[in-house]
Structure 1
């Protein structure tokens, strides 16, 4: 007679982050350099009706999928990032930032490939708050060469052998193509949680574990306005069926989140805390990072979503692209009890 194994204890919400340091997440996606130029302006140019900005300082931060990886690491998880970087100034800056953050980098490169970069110019008067005046985007145009796409898939397949969860951050810069999506479906079918955040192509990710659109993206997916809670619920279930995923987490800003599952269930999660958001930049990156770590640590979809909800509420209290530390999350969870 076979021995009866004891049931594994289900961790509580406050216990989940304690296991993060022993979990490894594989990040697949577009590694973006968030390049900030700061300056001062006090006059209009004679050459054109534009403000003259006198440069004061500049900095580069991990953006896009790189910010997701930074959030996983800040929450104390181990993370390997697979993506594309150019052999250029911004690529070198990101490599240095990855190293300083303790993120294992597995990036491919080739002649002519440019690092995805978003340059923002922020300026103001002598005694005023800086405002963003301009954003200049640079990076890959069109699909990556087939050789690079095959190399990326091989790196993902190899890194996934040691991963407890996969998180996909697709900003449309070419890293996640058809070959990669097929590889991700296979990983999900083998039981590895695959969590996807895709800005433009979510419907192409059928067969993964969890997808995370925001409410406007859900509305675009179904092609109709969602004016009532009933319409939201109907749309969520429709997208779960079309995506053939196990769960769909819809972020709803000040209305919290809605979690849909393949069995037809819906869990509406109210926004955490009473503070008004300061800056929502990058909050979605924090949410998907915490969600993937919650699943990697053995949490249910509901527990991982609630954990991500709390982490997201902390992220929006910070200016710019920010991360949330595990101790911050633990302190907030303990204070909420």
Structure 2
């Protein structure tokens, strides 16, 4: 499987001409980075001497950040709290990813912004502290969001549902969003949660990992054959154009319904440093390149290569056009026409 260099360059140009709408659960990621030199006298736990702190976009925010990194304009729908973390999350979005006109936030007076704090020592995660309250949207909030969504949808080429099961993407909102996208002939892609797995009907593609897909079907998925059977079974229930199952060290598998074709793409990661956000990179790059008109198999190959790049970085990282082209070239996936 190879991608023509002229085709890749054309897609790069087209990325700057499209908008992709991301709707889902916004999360602020916080990192406390330091070293461990002793054990606490209060309990048998390491004492981390924090020397550096940073915050970044997590959840659907990282999806938007990935879009920006490859030159795609994003539109964001999500929920934050009226708190310091919410201010920080909104600031990160405006500074790196979207304009104020394309940032549609529901600001809750009662719920906190979702904050995940990771404590890192000697390049290893010591623990993670989550601060969140999972409460579904009210019917009135859903109605307001759908009115805003329908208005913004017209200027977008594709929609990504980034579902972390934190209350924003309710079953009824999921179904309404997909229905609106289909009415307007917009590409819909989904990074799913198992609790909503069989609600994502009539979409372009869903991108669960093999654990999520196996849990939804009630069995483990290990071999290529088991993955292929699972893709067909899920597709019969959801009627997507394609199914993608990411498989960790085994790469990913794609099923294209129209041609009844399977593509098993091996992993390209040289060194796995942090898998945080790898799924965000997969769905972002795939959606963006498909939205430029790139074939499903080629877009999947690019998303696999992109994921291999970001797992070698700390935190919810992103990838650039230059990194993608260089990786494709190095791996022999780029065809240079004579």
User: 1:272: how far off?
Assistant: 5.3
Contact kept, 8 Å, 2:28 with 2:55, in 1: the verdict is yes
1:134–1:228 Cα change, 3 Å? closer
Deviations 1:33-84 (A, max 9, x none): 0011223433333333333333333211100100010001101000011100
- Kindly indicate whether residue 229 of structure 2 is the aligned counterpart of residue 234 of structure 1: yes
Equivalent-residue separation in structure 2 for 1:44 and 1:256 (angstroms)? 39
Deviations 1:165-196 (A, max 9, x none): 00111001111112321222213423200000
User: 1:300: how far off?
Assistant: 2.3
Equivalent-residue separation in structure 2 for 1:274 and 1:67 (angstroms)? 20
- Kindly indicate whether residue 137 of structure 2 is the aligned counterpart of residue 153 of structure 1: no
Contact kept, 8 Å, 1:38 with 1:122, in 2: the verdict is yes
1:131–1:228 Cα change, 3 Å? closer
**Structure 1: any 5+ residue segments left out of the alignment?**
1-10, 124-128
1:210–1:188 Cα change, 3 Å? farther
- Aligned 1:63-212 pairs, distance under 5 A: 63-104=58-99, 105-123=103-121, 129-190=122-183, 191-200=185-194, 201-212=196-207
Q: Which stretches of structure 1, 4 residues or longer, exceed 6 Å deviation after superposition?
A: none
- 2:302 paired residue among 304, 307, 315: 307
User: 1:314: how far off?
Assistant: 1.6
Give the match for residue 294 of structure 1. 289
- Kindly indicate whether residue 250 of structure 2 is the aligned counterpart of residue 255 of structure 1: yes
1:15–1:257 Cα change, 3 Å? farther
SS of the counterpart of 2:220?
coil
SS of the counterpart of 1:208?
coil
Larger mean CA deviation between 269-278 and 318-327 belongs to 269-278
Give the match for residue 325 of structure 1. 320
- 2:48 paired residue among 42, 45, 53: 53
Contact kept, 8 Å, 1:184 with 1:208, in 2: the verdict is no
SS of the counterpart of 2:154?
helix
1:197–1:325 Cα change, 3 Å? same
1:15–1:256 Cα change, 3 Å? farther
1:139–1:153 Cα change, 3 Å? farther
Give the match for residue 3 of structure 1. none
User: 1:238: how far off?
Assistant: 0.3
Equivalent-residue separation in structure 2 for 1:72 and 1:274 (angstroms)? 21
User: 1:118: how far off?
Assistant: 0.6
Equivalent-residue separation in structure 2 for 1:269 and 1:227 (angstroms)? 13
SS of the counterpart of 2:42?
coil
Equivalent-residue separation in structure 2 for 1:59 and 1:274 (angstroms)? 25
Give the match for residue 27 of structure 1. 22
SS of the counterpart of 1:85?
strand
Equivalent-residue separation in structure 2 for 1:23 and 1:151 (angstroms)? 25
For these two proteins, the number of residue pairs brought into alignment is 322
Equivalent-residue separation in structure 1 for 2:123 and 2:188 (angstroms)? 39
**Structure 2: any 5+ residue segments left out of the alignment?**
1-5
Contact kept, 8 Å, 1:290 with 1:311, in 2: the verdict is yes
Contact kept, 8 Å, 1:184 with 1:194, in 2: the verdict is no
TM-score w.r.t. length of structure 2: 0.89
User: 1:122: how far off?
Assistant: 2.0
RMSD between aligned residues: 2.0
User: 1:159: how far off?
Assistant: 1.4
